A and B are shown apart, each in its own frame.
Chain A
Amino acid sequence: MSILVDKNTRLIVQGITGNEGLFHTTQMVAYGTNVVGGVTPGKGGEWVLDGKLPVFDSVKTAKEATDANATIIFVPARFAPDAMFEAADAGIPLVICITEGVAVQDMMRVRNYLDQKKVRLIGPNCPGLLTPGEAKVGIIPGDIAIPGNVGVVSRSGTLTYEVLYAMKNLGMGATTCVGIGGDPINGTNFLDVLEMFEHDPKTEKVIMIGEIGGSEEEKAAQYIADKMTKPVAAFIAGQTAPAGKRMGHAGAIIEGGAGTAADKIKALEAAGVKVAKHPEEIPTLLQ
């Protein structure tokens, strides 16, 4: 078992003929992910990966032909909102948007529209999902994680790889790793993923990697205190970050004194979460 993606996922790739899209499609297929096709407007009827994968002009036609149940978006930031609306209107229930740099007001419109359509969005500005041994839907390197019983959820990219790698070195594997992304307005948050892990029979423990900005870690802490039965270990990045500066991720900013690492660590510790001092320490807290 796992959450969100597994070997039954039938994935299409929006932006499949672009550099990024094609590169990562190749990687995902090599990992064993069930990629069933892709979309690039104006290139419908073409094939990629030596004729293995069909390209469609629209998500709607791709869905009709392939019965896809998930889509991953690799299109540039200015076109990504449209790609997300298109996926939702075509009836794809799970949308993963890797693209970084989507405008905030676009994301507010997308999020509210997708909520109305009951579409699950992961990202944007995220590394995607990895269910080791079953499906890699995103850009997380497949070889740094092994199957296991730990659910991983994170706002970051390479920091997550760091943790997966430290886990692997200890022989610890993951059920699913979910990169929720570093933007201020995103589709799925810690709370949503923690609920899924809590209800996933295979997941026995959870690792959560947060950072400065916003209050989603605090909301997660509340959920952990009230409802969660499985042990959680965490790390919060940005303890040395200055206030008022965006630390690379659009959402990683301390504003008006709110969103500090200290506040988040305090909330998590009060909820019984073990908070690591550095990322390599996290897996050892769950041993």
Chain B
Amino acid sequence: MKLHEYQSKTIFSKYGIPIPKGRVAATAQEARQIAEELGGRVVIKSQVLVGGRGKAGGVKLAKDSAEAEQLATQILGMEIKGLPVRKVLVDEASAIDQEIYFAITDDRAAKKPVMIASAAGGIDIEEVAAKTPEKIIKVHIDPLLGLREYQARDVAVAIDLPREYWKDFVKIAMGLWEVYKNSDATLAEINPLVITKDKKMIALDGKMMIDDNALFRQPNLTELRDTDEDAPSEIEARKYGLSFIKLDGNIGCMVNGAGLAMTSMDVIKLFGGEPANFLDVGGGASSEKVAAAMRIILTDPSVKAILFNIFGGITRCDEVARGILAAMEEVKPKVPMVVRLVGTNAEEGRRLLENANMITAETLADAAKKSVEAAKKGS
């Protein structure tokens, strides 16, 4: 789960990391009022969960409150990479001397958290990493010991931070570690961390991602979820505990198991089709779940065929077949359906579906071919 800039910075501030004065606004009038409170010169920043807001024109400097209102009107009407701007952050403008990149994230390969810093802050860090990897400093943190101050000091030295700022930097680093740890973040990023002309160190921008698997112990963060970037069908699927991702093709997929679901998409593509979705219906696959999945797949008008690929292990194929029958009764789908049942009680499952007007297949390859043909006929 991603957090907005204003949400991330509010959390930073609670852990002693200095942030600019400012507030979030949903209307241009509010933005004007906040600008007036802050003395006029402000930055208006769109709050959407994508990168590259600046390049897209979603971050603008206003010299007074009237211009703040005007720019806020403009930005609040924008869409950035398909996402509507519903809120803007109005921050007091800072006179910047130096920009630094600083983040704490998970390093999958090392199985440890890692601090990442660069004197080349303010720009896309992946670009810096690709072009000038020597400008990126990485220091791993022992997850059992936590971040130690000397490690933060080592980073300050490595990015050539003047000595007078070491103390501030260490305080910010320790604060960001607490943010990362206590929020179950997978990323806590300050880009840029700036040194202002009046020699203060401030987190000008902030970004956080939270581990979905840890939300059970983060009730306050769970409330912050913004579902704007999710397709409506994905939000609906989440309610039923289905793992669903919408894609651009025309063959709907319902599969048990994530790896097999991905593979089914790949095999459809291999035989010349395009998958309409990823869907892991999970173990058990009760008729309620199957029906919900079928409804969600069929809300997409481009779906011309559905492929069911069930490998019965613990999941029994006859149960899934009953689920499919009950779901068909309820949803009454009009597109052709290809079904492949293998494993535990597969014969019984196939017998149950005999009169259900479905296309049956023995192998995954065969099922994929048949669904590609069916989708072609249907479109």
Residues of chain A whose beta carbon lies under 8 Å from any beta carbon of chain B? 23, 77-78, 101-109, 111-113, 139-141, 144, 154-162, 165, 182, 184-185, 209, 211-212, 214-216, 219, 235, 237-242, 245, 247-252, 256-257, 261, 277-280
Contacts and interface: CB of A to CB of B under 8 A. Distances in A.
Contacts of B314: 23, 139, 141
B106 A184 contact: yes
Contacts, number: 164
Given A112-B142, A239-B266, A156 B259 contact: yes
A160 B258 CA distance: 11
Contact of B269 (A107, A211, A216, A239): A239
Given A104-B184, A158-B260, A247-B245, 11 more contacts: A105-B184, A106-B214, A108-B143, A139-B314, A157-B313, A162-B364, A209-B259, A215-B108, A242-B247, A248-B278, A249-B258
Contacts of A159: 257, 259-260, 262-263
Interface stretch (B58-66, B84-92, B109-117, B194-202): B109-117
B213 A247 contact: no
Contacts of A252: 258-259, 262
Contacts of B268: 240
Contacts of B247: 240, 242
Contacts of A108: 106, 111-113, 143
B262 A241 contact: yes
A278 B365 contact: yes
A106 B275 CA distance: 35
A82 to B, nearest CB: 13
Interface residues of B, number: 50
Interface in B251-304: 255-263, 265-270, 275, 278, 280
Contacts of B363: 280
B214 A103 contact: yes
Interface in B324-360: 342-344
Contact of B313 (A140, A214, A216): A140
Given A238-B266, A240-B269, A245 B245 contact: yes
B265 A240 contact: yes
Nearest 4 A-B pairs (CB), nearest first?
A248-B258, A156-B259, A158-B257, A159-B259
Contact of B259 (A78, A107, A157): A157
B186 interface: yes
A251 B106 CA distance: 12
B216 interface: yes
29 contacts: A103-B214, A104-B214, A105-B211, A112-B111, A112-B143, A158-B257, A158-B311, A158-B313, A159-B260, A161-B313, A162-B263, A162-B311, A214-B109, A235-B263, A237-B259, A238-B262, A239-B269, A240-B265, A240-B269, A240-B275, A242-B245, A247-B245, A247-B258, A247-B261, A247-B262, A278-B263, A278-B266, A278-B364, A278-B365
Contacts of B243: 248
A113 B144 CA distance: 8
A73 B186 CA distance: 25
Contacts of B184: 103-105
B181 interface: yes
A139 B108 contact: no
Contacts of B313: 139-141, 144, 157-158, 161
A16 to B, nearest CB: 17
Contacts of A242: 245, 247
Nearest to B368: A278
Taking each of A101, A144, A278, which has the highest tally of chain B beta carbons within 10 Å of its own beta carbon?
A278
A237 B262 contact: yes
A20 B293 CA distance: 24
Contacts of B344: 141
Nearest to A154: B259
B106 A185 contact: yes
Contacts of A238: 262, 266
B213 A102 contact: yes
Contacts of A248: 243, 257-259, 261-262, 278, 280
A113 to B, nearest CB: 6
A93 B298 CA distance: 49
B256 A158 contact: yes
A105 B260 contact: no
B253 to A, nearest CB: 10
Given A112-B112, A215-B109, A241-B262, A77 B213 contact: yes
A249 B108 CA distance: 14
B350 to A, nearest CB: 16
A11 B106 CA distance: 33
A219 B109 CA distance: 10
B126 interface: yes
B217 interface: yes
